[in-house]
A and B are shown apart, each in its own frame.
Chain A
Protein backbone atom coordinates (compact mmCIF):
# COMPACT_ATOMS: atom_id res chain seq x y z
CA UNK A 1 0.00 0.00 0.00
CA UNK A 2 1.33 3.43 -0.92
CA UNK A 3 2.11 5.60 2.11
CA UNK A 4 1.40 9.32 2.38
CA UNK A 5 5.16 9.96 2.24
CA UNK A 6 5.38 8.16 -1.11
CA UNK A 7 2.41 10.14 -2.40
CA UNK A 8 4.06 13.39 -1.35
CA UNK A 9 7.35 12.39 -2.96
CA UNK A 10 5.56 11.42 -6.18
CA UNK A 11 3.71 14.76 -6.26
CA UNK A 12 6.89 16.74 -5.69
CA UNK A 13 8.64 14.75 -8.42
CA UNK A 14 5.74 15.54 -10.75
CA UNK A 15 5.90 19.24 -9.83
CA UNK A 16 9.69 19.39 -10.35
CA UNK A 17 9.61 17.67 -13.76
CA UNK A 18 6.60 19.77 -14.81
CA UNK A 19 8.40 23.00 -13.85
CA UNK A 20 11.66 22.06 -15.61
CA UNK A 21 10.09 20.70 -18.82
CA UNK A 22 7.43 23.43 -18.95
CA UNK A 23 9.97 26.18 -18.27
CA UNK A 24 12.32 24.87 -20.97
CA UNK A 25 9.59 24.49 -23.60
CA UNK A 26 8.07 27.90 -22.86
CA UNK A 27 11.51 29.54 -22.97
CA UNK A 28 12.21 28.01 -26.39
CA UNK A 29 8.81 29.23 -27.59
CA UNK A 30 8.96 32.72 -26.05
CA UNK A 31 12.64 33.46 -26.57
CA UNK A 32 12.99 36.77 -28.42
CA UNK A 33 14.44 35.70 -31.76
CA UNK A 34 16.57 38.05 -33.82
CA UNK A 35 14.53 40.16 -36.21
CA UNK A 36 14.51 39.00 -39.83
CA UNK A 37 16.36 35.81 -38.80
CA UNK A 38 15.62 32.28 -40.00
CA UNK A 39 13.63 31.40 -36.87
CA UNK A 40 11.52 34.53 -37.03
CA UNK A 41 10.82 33.82 -40.70
CA UNK A 42 9.74 30.27 -39.82
CA UNK A 43 7.59 31.52 -36.95
CA UNK A 44 5.97 34.16 -39.16
CA UNK A 45 5.02 31.48 -41.71
CA UNK A 46 3.63 29.31 -38.94
CA UNK A 47 1.41 32.16 -37.68
CA UNK A 48 0.30 32.89 -41.25
CA UNK A 49 -0.69 29.21 -41.56
CA UNK A 50 -2.65 29.49 -38.32
CA UNK A 51 -4.42 32.59 -39.67
CA UNK A 52 -5.26 30.62 -42.87
CA UNK A 53 -6.73 27.82 -40.73
CA UNK A 54 -8.93 30.19 -38.71
CA UNK A 55 -9.83 32.09 -41.89
CA UNK A 56 -10.98 28.90 -43.63
CA UNK A 57 -13.33 28.19 -40.69
CA UNK A 58 -14.66 31.76 -40.79
CA UNK A 59 -15.24 31.57 -44.58
CA UNK A 60 -17.88 28.88 -43.94
CA UNK A 61 -20.00 31.55 -42.24
CA UNK A 62 -18.68 34.68 -43.94
CA UNK A 63 -17.47 34.24 -47.56
CA UNK A 64 -16.09 37.81 -47.50
CA UNK A 65 -13.30 36.80 -45.13
CA UNK A 66 -9.79 36.67 -46.58
CA UNK A 67 -6.38 36.20 -45.02
CA UNK A 68 -3.41 38.48 -45.70
CA UNK A 69 -0.28 37.31 -43.91
CA UNK A 70 -1.18 37.18 -40.20
CA UNK A 71 -4.33 39.27 -40.69
CA UNK A 72 -7.87 37.95 -41.04
CA UNK A 73 -9.77 40.63 -42.92
CA UNK A 74 -13.52 40.78 -43.47
CA UNK A 75 -16.24 42.91 -41.92
CA UNK A 76 -13.71 43.40 -39.11
CA UNK A 77 -10.07 42.43 -38.85
CA UNK A 78 -7.99 40.30 -36.50
CA UNK A 79 -4.23 39.81 -36.31
CA UNK A 80 -2.90 36.41 -35.30
CA UNK A 81 0.14 37.22 -33.11
CA UNK A 82 2.46 35.21 -30.89
CA UNK A 83 0.48 33.51 -28.07
CA UNK A 84 -2.69 33.59 -30.23
CA UNK A 85 -1.83 30.01 -31.20
CA UNK A 86 -2.43 28.76 -27.62
CA UNK A 87 1.01 27.18 -27.78
CA UNK A 88 1.65 28.17 -24.15
CA UNK A 89 -1.39 26.13 -23.05
CA UNK A 90 -0.37 23.23 -25.30
CA UNK A 91 3.19 23.26 -23.89
CA UNK A 92 1.94 23.30 -20.28
CA UNK A 93 -0.39 20.40 -21.12
CA UNK A 94 2.45 18.43 -22.77
CA UNK A 95 4.76 19.13 -19.81
CA UNK A 96 2.18 17.81 -17.34
CA UNK A 97 1.86 14.63 -19.40
CA UNK A 98 5.64 14.18 -19.61
CA UNK A 99 5.89 14.67 -15.81
CA UNK A 100 3.21 12.07 -15.07
CA UNK A 101 4.48 8.50 -14.52
CA UNK A 102 3.17 6.50 -17.51
CA UNK A 103 4.45 4.58 -20.51
CA UNK A 104 5.84 6.70 -23.34
CA UNK A 105 3.32 5.25 -25.82
CA UNK A 106 0.49 6.53 -23.61
CA UNK A 107 2.22 9.86 -23.10
CA UNK A 108 2.67 10.36 -26.84
CA UNK A 109 -0.95 9.39 -27.51
CA UNK A 110 -2.09 11.86 -24.82
CA UNK A 111 0.04 14.67 -26.22
CA UNK A 112 -1.13 14.05 -29.79
CA UNK A 113 -4.84 13.84 -28.94
CA UNK A 114 -4.77 16.61 -26.32
CA UNK A 115 -2.86 19.08 -28.48
CA UNK A 116 -5.15 18.35 -31.43
CA UNK A 117 -8.20 19.11 -29.27
CA UNK A 118 -6.63 22.28 -27.86
CA UNK A 119 -5.62 23.46 -31.34
CA UNK A 120 -9.12 22.82 -32.70
CA UNK A 121 -10.70 24.72 -29.80
CA UNK A 122 -8.20 27.53 -30.32
CA UNK A 123 -9.09 27.87 -34.01
CA UNK A 124 -12.75 28.10 -32.92
CA UNK A 125 -11.67 30.69 -30.32
CA UNK A 126 -10.13 32.89 -33.02
CA UNK A 127 -13.23 32.47 -35.18
CA UNK A 128 -15.46 33.38 -32.22
CA UNK A 129 -13.38 36.50 -31.52
CA UNK A 130 -14.03 37.70 -35.08
CA UNK A 131 -17.79 37.60 -34.37
CA UNK A 132 -17.41 39.09 -30.89
CA UNK A 133 -15.49 42.03 -32.39
CA UNK A 134 -18.17 42.36 -35.06
CA UNK A 135 -21.27 42.15 -32.84
CA UNK A 136 -20.11 43.10 -29.31
CA UNK A 137 -16.90 45.14 -29.69
CA UNK A 138 -17.15 46.43 -26.11
CA UNK A 139 -16.88 42.84 -24.83
CA UNK A 140 -13.89 41.95 -27.01
CA UNK A 141 -11.15 42.70 -24.46
CA UNK A 142 -12.85 40.79 -21.65
CA UNK A 143 -13.56 37.75 -23.82
CA UNK A 144 -10.13 37.84 -25.47
CA UNK A 145 -7.98 38.39 -22.38
CA UNK A 146 -10.08 36.82 -19.62
CA UNK A 147 -12.82 34.42 -20.70
CA UNK A 148 -10.94 32.46 -23.38
CA UNK A 149 -7.59 32.09 -21.54
CA UNK A 150 -9.47 30.78 -18.49
CA UNK A 151 -11.50 28.40 -20.68
CA UNK A 152 -8.37 27.09 -22.42
CA UNK A 153 -6.55 26.45 -19.13
CA UNK A 154 -9.65 24.77 -17.67
CA UNK A 155 -9.91 22.60 -20.81
CA UNK A 156 -6.21 21.67 -20.63
CA UNK A 157 -6.53 20.72 -16.94
CA UNK A 158 -9.66 18.64 -17.65
CA UNK A 159 -7.93 16.90 -20.58
CA UNK A 160 -4.88 16.15 -18.42
CA UNK A 161 -7.02 14.73 -15.59
CA UNK A 162 -8.95 12.58 -18.06
CA UNK A 163 -5.73 11.33 -19.66
CA UNK A 164 -4.04 10.59 -16.29
CA UNK A 165 -7.01 8.47 -15.20
CA UNK A 166 -6.99 6.65 -18.53
CA UNK A 167 -3.21 6.06 -18.34
CA UNK A 168 -3.50 4.69 -14.79
CA UNK A 169 -6.52 2.52 -15.60
CA UNK A 170 -4.89 0.96 -18.68
CA UNK A 171 -1.63 0.52 -16.75
CA UNK A 172 -3.48 -1.31 -13.93
CA UNK A 173 -5.39 -3.46 -16.45
CA UNK A 174 -2.23 -4.55 -18.25
CA UNK A 175 -0.31 -5.23 -14.97
Chain B
Protein backbone atom coordinates (compact mmCIF):
# COMPACT_ATOMS: atom_id res chain seq x y z
CA UNK B 1 0.00 0.00 0.00
CA UNK B 2 2.75 2.44 1.04
CA UNK B 3 4.82 1.74 -2.08
CA UNK B 4 1.81 2.06 -4.40
CA UNK B 5 0.94 5.42 -2.82
CA UNK B 6 4.62 6.40 -3.02
CA UNK B 7 4.53 5.80 -6.80
CA UNK B 8 1.47 8.08 -7.16
CA UNK B 9 3.09 10.69 -4.93
CA UNK B 10 6.31 10.54 -6.97
CA UNK B 11 4.40 11.09 -10.23
CA UNK B 12 2.62 14.14 -8.74
CA UNK B 13 5.81 15.41 -7.09
CA UNK B 14 7.78 15.14 -10.38
CA UNK B 15 5.07 17.13 -12.17
CA UNK B 16 5.41 19.83 -9.53
CA UNK B 17 9.21 19.84 -9.57
CA UNK B 18 9.15 20.12 -13.38
CA UNK B 19 7.36 23.47 -13.04
CA UNK B 20 10.25 24.94 -11.00
CA UNK B 21 13.28 26.59 -12.45
CA UNK B 22 15.84 24.74 -10.34
CA UNK B 23 19.49 25.63 -10.77
CA UNK B 24 20.79 22.08 -10.29
CA UNK B 25 22.03 19.47 -12.70
CA UNK B 26 20.70 16.78 -12.87
CA UNK B 27 17.24 18.09 -11.94
CA UNK B 28 15.82 16.49 -8.78
CA UNK B 29 13.28 13.70 -9.16
CA UNK B 30 11.06 11.81 -6.73
CA UNK B 31 11.23 8.02 -6.84
CA UNK B 32 10.19 5.04 -4.78
CA UNK B 33 13.34 3.62 -3.12
CA UNK B 34 14.16 -0.10 -3.17
CA UNK B 35 12.69 -1.96 -0.15
CA UNK B 36 14.82 -1.51 2.97
CA UNK B 37 16.74 1.55 1.69
CA UNK B 38 14.86 3.98 3.93
CA UNK B 39 14.58 3.27 7.67
CA UNK B 40 11.21 3.02 9.41
CA UNK B 41 11.98 6.27 11.24
CA UNK B 42 12.16 8.08 7.87
CA UNK B 43 8.96 6.53 6.56
CA UNK B 44 9.92 2.95 5.68
CA UNK B 45 7.65 1.61 2.94
CA UNK B 46 5.79 4.95 2.90
CA UNK B 47 8.94 6.88 1.99
CA UNK B 48 9.86 8.38 -1.35
CA UNK B 49 13.29 9.79 -2.11
CA UNK B 50 14.05 13.08 -3.82
CA UNK B 51 17.32 12.52 -5.72
CA UNK B 52 19.59 14.95 -7.47
CA UNK B 53 22.93 13.41 -8.38
CA UNK B 54 24.51 12.13 -5.17
CA UNK B 55 22.07 14.03 -2.96
CA UNK B 56 19.03 12.12 -1.69
CA UNK B 57 16.31 13.31 0.71
CA UNK B 58 13.84 10.75 2.10
CA UNK B 59 10.28 11.97 2.61
CA UNK B 60 7.57 10.18 4.59
CA UNK B 61 4.39 10.50 2.50
CA UNK B 62 2.00 9.04 5.06
CA UNK B 63 1.38 12.03 7.35
CA UNK B 64 1.91 14.77 4.78
CA UNK B 65 -0.16 13.26 1.94
CA UNK B 66 -1.91 9.95 2.58
CA UNK B 67 -3.56 10.78 5.92
CA UNK B 68 -5.26 14.05 4.83
CA UNK B 69 -6.48 12.52 1.55
CA UNK B 70 -7.74 9.36 3.27
CA UNK B 71 -9.58 11.29 5.99
CA UNK B 72 -11.15 13.62 3.41
CA UNK B 73 -12.24 10.72 1.17
CA UNK B 74 -13.72 8.85 4.14
CA UNK B 75 -15.69 11.92 5.28
CA UNK B 76 -16.86 12.91 1.78
CA UNK B 77 -17.89 9.41 0.72
CA UNK B 78 -19.77 8.70 3.96
CA UNK B 79 -21.72 11.99 3.95
CA UNK B 80 -25.37 11.30 3.07
CA UNK B 81 -25.89 13.89 0.30
CA UNK B 82 -27.11 13.51 -3.31
CA UNK B 83 -24.57 12.04 -5.73
CA UNK B 84 -24.07 15.28 -7.70
CA UNK B 85 -23.30 17.27 -4.53
CA UNK B 86 -21.02 14.49 -3.32
CA UNK B 87 -19.11 14.74 -6.62
CA UNK B 88 -18.69 18.49 -6.23
CA UNK B 89 -17.53 18.08 -2.61
CA UNK B 90 -15.01 15.41 -3.68
CA UNK B 91 -13.70 17.47 -6.60
CA UNK B 92 -13.50 20.78 -4.71
CA UNK B 93 -12.06 19.40 -1.48
CA UNK B 94 -9.72 17.09 -3.38
CA UNK B 95 -8.42 20.00 -5.48
CA UNK B 96 -7.85 22.03 -2.32
CA UNK B 97 -5.91 19.18 -0.66
CA UNK B 98 -3.80 18.60 -3.80
CA UNK B 99 -3.00 22.33 -3.90
CA UNK B 100 -1.98 22.16 -0.23
CA UNK B 101 0.18 19.13 -1.03
CA UNK B 102 1.83 21.02 -3.88
CA UNK B 103 2.66 23.84 -1.47
CA UNK B 104 3.87 21.32 1.13
CA UNK B 105 6.26 19.76 -1.40
CA UNK B 106 7.48 22.84 -3.27
CA UNK B 107 8.47 25.03 -0.30
CA UNK B 108 11.09 22.53 0.99
CA UNK B 109 12.21 21.73 -2.59
CA UNK B 110 12.78 25.47 -3.25
CA UNK B 111 14.56 25.74 0.10
CA UNK B 112 16.85 22.77 -0.68
CA UNK B 113 17.66 23.74 -4.27
CA UNK B 114 17.53 27.52 -3.95
CA UNK B 115 14.82 28.23 -6.49
CA UNK B 116 11.83 30.49 -6.82
CA UNK B 117 11.28 33.20 -4.27
CA UNK B 118 13.40 31.75 -1.46
CA UNK B 119 15.09 34.60 0.40
CA UNK B 120 12.61 37.21 -0.84
CA UNK B 121 9.63 38.55 1.10
CA UNK B 122 7.34 36.15 -0.77
CA UNK B 123 9.67 33.29 0.14
CA UNK B 124 9.62 34.30 3.83
CA UNK B 125 5.81 34.47 3.72
CA UNK B 126 5.70 31.01 2.11
CA UNK B 127 8.05 29.65 4.80
CA UNK B 128 5.87 31.06 7.61
CA UNK B 129 2.68 29.72 5.99
CA UNK B 130 4.39 26.34 5.61
CA UNK B 131 5.50 26.35 9.27
CA UNK B 132 2.02 27.31 10.48
CA UNK B 133 -0.28 25.27 8.21
CA UNK B 134 1.77 22.31 6.99
CA UNK B 135 4.44 21.27 9.46
CA UNK B 136 2.37 20.58 12.65
CA UNK B 137 1.09 16.96 12.50
CA UNK B 138 -2.38 18.01 13.71
CA UNK B 139 -2.80 20.02 10.50
CA UNK B 140 -2.87 16.74 8.56
CA UNK B 141 -6.08 15.99 10.47
CA UNK B 142 -7.54 19.49 10.80
CA UNK B 143 -7.10 20.42 7.10
CA UNK B 144 -9.18 17.59 5.56
CA UNK B 145 -11.86 18.17 8.19
CA UNK B 146 -11.97 21.89 7.33
CA UNK B 147 -11.94 21.14 3.57
CA UNK B 148 -14.84 18.69 3.93
CA UNK B 149 -16.90 21.04 6.10
CA UNK B 150 -16.23 24.05 3.86
CA UNK B 151 -17.10 22.09 0.70
CA UNK B 152 -20.39 21.04 2.30
CA UNK B 153 -21.11 24.60 3.46
CA UNK B 154 -20.42 26.00 -0.02
CA UNK B 155 -22.65 23.43 -1.71
CA UNK B 156 -25.64 23.93 0.57
CA UNK B 157 -28.48 23.98 -1.97
CA UNK B 158 -30.19 27.28 -2.70
CA UNK B 159 -33.85 27.28 -1.70
CA UNK B 160 -36.52 29.92 -2.02
CA UNK B 161 -36.75 31.85 1.21
CA UNK B 162 -39.76 30.64 3.20
CA UNK B 163 -40.84 33.78 4.97
CA UNK B 164 -43.89 33.91 7.27
CA UNK B 165 -45.53 36.44 4.88
CA UNK B 166 -45.26 34.04 1.93
CA UNK B 167 -46.59 31.14 4.01
CA UNK B 168 -49.55 33.26 5.15
CA UNK B 169 -50.27 34.25 1.55
CA UNK B 170 -50.22 30.66 0.38
CA UNK B 171 -52.58 29.64 3.22
CA UNK B 172 -55.13 32.31 2.14
CA UNK B 173 -55.17 30.80 -1.34
Q: A1-B163, A12-B153 are in contact. Are A157 and B132 (CB under 8 A)?
A: no
Q: Main secondary structure on chain B at its contact with chain A?
A: helix
By a beta-carbon cutoff of 8 Å, the part of chain A in contact with chain B is 1, 3-8, 11-12, 14-15, 23, 26-27, 29-32, 83, 86, 88-89, 92, 141, 145-146, 149-150, 152-153, 157
Residues in chain A near residue B40, CB distance under 8 A: 141
Number of interface residues of B (CB under 8 A): 32
B156 close to A8 (CB less than 8 A): yes
A153 close to B156 (CB less than 8 A): no
Complex Cα–Cα for A153 and B142 (A): 7
Q: A3-B159, A5-B159, A146-B63 are in contact. Are A88 and B136 (CB under 8 A)?
A: yes
Residue on B nearest A29 in the bound complex, by CB: B132
Number of cross-chain contacts by CB at 8 Å: 76
By a beta-carbon cutoff of 8 Å, the part of chain B in contact with chain A is 40-41, 62-63, 67, 128, 131-133, 135-142, 145-146, 149-150, 153-154, 156-164
Residues in chain A near residue B153, CB distance under 8 A: 8, 11-12, 14-15
Q: In the assembled complex, how far is the CB of residue B55 from the closest CB belonging to chain A, in whole angstroms? A: 25
14 additional contacts (CB under 8 A) given A4-B157, A30-B128, A146-B67: A1-B162, A1-B163, A6-B161, A12-B154, A15-B150, A30-B132, A31-B128, A31-B131, A32-B128, A88-B136, A146-B63, A149-B138, A149-B140, A153-B138
